[in-house]
Amino acid sequence: MYFQLTPVGLHCRNVDERAIQTFKNHLIAGISSVNPTFPLHLRDKLIPQALITLNLLRQSRINPHLSAYAQVHRAFDFNRTAPPGTKILAHVRPEDRKSWAVHTAKGYYIGPTMNHYRCHRVWIQATNSERIAQTLVWYPHNMKMPIPHTVASSSLQQTTSSQPSKQPTRTPISHK
């Protein structure tokens, strides 16, 4: 059996540790994009969607023309997913409510349902439980694009303050 030791603290050489670091970064990015009012105790409900999106981004090692997800499962229907933790209103069917009751329930999107046609996994606030819903109204929150202010402002100042450069004058070439 052959093995190679790596220096202490150098995790980029170990393939398994690199995969764990990639997943952690992807999950943290997904949790960072949730609605500010999303309950933090529901973070574990976002892991299945993080696995799906990460495998959609990874290339298959068997067939480089497919994603890792498509290689194992099937082609993914992108109409089934949305940003995790998005605030929603889920339609409550007439059989499940009283005649004069509100027709929707407030909640959060937590992932796609892989075995149901055009349905979503949602967390309903009133019941504190997960539900499969077919019809949703989405309320995404506004997020600012992360741009370093020093780079953006300095490049903008350079662009606006610089004088347009003069074109060099061309002299015709004379053949003697």
Domain hosting 71: range is 15-142
Q: What is the pLDDT of residue 166?
A: 57
* pLDDT tens, the chain, 176 aa long: 887 777 777 766 777 888 888 999 999 998 988 999 999 999 999 999 999 999 998 899 899 999 998 899 888 877 778 888 999 999 999 998 898 999 999 999 999 988 888 889 999 999 999 999 999 999 888 766 666 665 555 655 665 555 555 555 655 565 55
- Do the domain assignments include residue 151? no
- Do the domain assignments include residue 163? no
Q: How far apart are the first and last CA of the chain?
A: 80
pTM of the model: 0.70
Count of domains forming the chain: 1
Whole-number CA gyration radius for the chain:
26
Helix (H, G, I), strand (E, B) or coil at 14: coil
- Do the domain assignments include residue 164? no
Identify whether the C-beta of residue 132 lies closer than 8 Å to the C-beta of residue 117.
Answer: no
Identify whether the C-beta of residue 63 lies closer than 8 Å to the C-beta of residue 114.
Answer: no
Q: What is the pLDDT of residue 6?
A: 72
- Do the domain assignments include residue 61? yes
- Do the domain assignments include residue 91? yes
**Closest of 86, 97, 90 to residue 134, by C-alpha:** 90
- Do the domain assignments include residue 170? no
- Do the domain assignments include residue 43? yes
Q: Looking up tokens 């060099």, which residue turns up?
A: 168
